[in-house]
């Protein structure tokens, strides 16, 4: 991999991602200001993640809006591969999905792929991934989805429902398609080779078009799904993609749930958050205070600032003054980190309480095989 290059696949993200290049590489479309305005108009409200380009790319979002304006509803689908505890980056598409559910009053499916992570991670057992599926489900529920309109699918538990759909899909995807899409080799286990069919299945669980908010790394699965959808007489899934949250330790690569220091988990205690941010959050500041006052910091590469922009400071005016103060040198790196630490800990205090409550609500959300 050369210095200016990067890798984005569902199982591996590395390097400093150039999102314009990625849009070309994947063949998606950038979200234009026209589309962003249209979403705002139809939803009746703006979302800061759209305004700031956190959601930056899509496939056929316009068709979803056209249909919706004609009175035809869509449904929402997203998911999580339960390989560890939930971190802040995972929450981005879920928070956005929650907003979409509220604004469009639509059904939502959330897939927990305990099988996928068992296939993909040599060290995880099925017991491990199903334990994390439960833990991740609590985070999802804590965000406030409506139980009447939201179902959580756990692959090993709901296989009876998924399998007939996955079989339709699997028959239309051949080995050279998946191989070309994911770079599989003869050593890849056959669970992985079949797996796209299972991630596709929820796209066709209702007889309506689906809209999927997702991290852009997951796009390749649905590129395959979109190719085969007409062959099984189904509408193509529409997608809206978010950028990957940077690891605490700096630009290049997404936050990985297996890199403890690069990650803030939803289960972290306040003192842990404080320690992680202070110790690991990559700073765009100058080496010493004197120079920082003179030259100012660089918010565009500062991970603490990026976390505020991506997730923790929805107020544009507040974000702007933090940006300007940091750039001018008025705000020091330690002070910027202190702002972020407080924001994260305020968020987590509320989230962790809701997460506890979710333990008694989970049964209402679990999809029951018919
Ligand atoms: N493969 C995804 C992951 O590793 C989980 C997933 C399943 C998913 N279905 C999805 C993600 C739909 C986005 C949209 O996290």
Which residue segments constitute the domains of the chain, with CATH numbers given? 3-248 (3.40.50.620), 261-357 (1.10.240.10)
Neighbour order of strands in the sheet with 150-154:
29-30, 55-59, 238-242, 210-215, 75-80, 108-112, 150-154
Contact 50, 36 (CB under 8 A): yes
Q: Which of 83, 117, 214 to mutate to test the pocket of ligand 1 (most atoms within 8 A of CB)?
A: 214
Question: In whole angstroms, what is the distance from residue 136 CA to residue 133 CA?
Answer: 5
Contact 307, 282 (CB under 8 A): no
Each residue's pLDDT expressed in tens, for the chain with a length of 370 residues: 555 689 999 998 888 899 999 999 999 999 999 999 999 999 999 999 999 999 999 999 999 999 999 999 999 999 999 999 999 999 999 999 999 999 999 999 999 999 999 999 999 999 999 999 999 999 999 999 999 999 999 999 999 999 999 999 999 999 999 999 999 999 999 999 999 999 999 999 999 999 999 999 999 999 999 999 999 999 999 999 999 999 998 765 455 656 777 889 999 999 999 999 999 999 999 999 999 999 999 999 999 999 999 999 999 999 999 999 999 999 999 999 999 999 999 999 999 999 999 999 999 999 999 8
DSSP state letter for 244: P
Q: Is the CB of 203 under 6 A from ligand 1?
A: no
Closest CA relative to residue 99, chosen from 48, 65, 133: 48
Atom 5 of ligand 1, residue of closest alpha carbon: 80
Q: Is the CB of 154 under 6 A from ligand 1?
A: no
Residue 73 structure tokens: 């509803």
Length of the chain: 370
Q: Please list the alpha-helical segments (H only) found in 12-112.
A: 19-26, 33-43, 48-51, 61-69, 88-104
Contact 113, 147 (CB under 8 A): no
Contacts of 104 (CB under 8 A, 6+ apart): 43, 68, 73, 74
Q: Is the CB of 10 under 6 A from ligand 1?
A: yes
């Amino acid at each position: 991999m050369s210095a200016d290059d990067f890798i984005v696949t569902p199982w591996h993200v590395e390097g400093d991602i150039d999102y314009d290049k990625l849009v070309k590489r994947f063949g998606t479309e950038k979200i234009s200001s026209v589309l962003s305005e249209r979403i705002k108009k139809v939803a009746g409200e703006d979302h800061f993640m759209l305004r700031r380009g956190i959601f930056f790319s899509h496939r056929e979002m316009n068709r979803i809006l056209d249909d919706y304006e004609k009175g035809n509803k869509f449904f929402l689908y997203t998911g999580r591969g339960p390989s560890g505890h939930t971190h802040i980056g995972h929450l981005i598409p879920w928070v956005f999905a929650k907003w979409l559910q509220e604004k469009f009053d639509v059904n939502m499916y959330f897939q927990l792929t305990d099988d996928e992570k068992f296939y993909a991670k040599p060290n995880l057992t099925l017991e491990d991934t199903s334990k994390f599926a439960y833990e991740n489900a609590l985070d999802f529920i804590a965000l406030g989805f409506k139980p009447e309109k939201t179902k959580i699918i756990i692959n090993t538990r709901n296989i009876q429902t998924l399998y007939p759909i996955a079989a339709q899909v699997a028959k239309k995807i051949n080995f050279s398609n998946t191989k070309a899409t994911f770079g599989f080799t003869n050593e890849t286990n056959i669970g992985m080779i079949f797996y796209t069919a299972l991630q596709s299945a929820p796209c066709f669980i209702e007889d309506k078009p689906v809209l999927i908010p997702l991290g852009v790394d997951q796009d390749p699965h649905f590129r395959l799904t979109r190719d085969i959808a007409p062959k099984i007489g189904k509408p193509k899934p529409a997608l809206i993609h978010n950028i990957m949250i940077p690891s605490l330790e700096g630009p290049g690569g997404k936050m990985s749930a297996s890199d403890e220091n690069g990650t803030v988990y939803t289960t972290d205690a306040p003192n842990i958050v404080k320690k992680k941010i202070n110790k690991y959050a990559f700073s765009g500041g100058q080496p010493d205070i004197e120079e920082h006052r003179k030259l100012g910091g660089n918010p565009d590469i500062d991970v603490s600032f990026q976390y505020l922009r991506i997730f923790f400071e929805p107020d544009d005016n507040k974000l702007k003054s933090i940006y300007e103060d940091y750039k001018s040198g008025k705000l020091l790196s330690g002070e910027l980190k202190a702002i972020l630490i407080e924001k994260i800990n305020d968020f987590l205090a509320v989230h962790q309480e809701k997460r506890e409550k979710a333990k008694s609500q989970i049964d209402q959300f679990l999809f029951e095989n018919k």
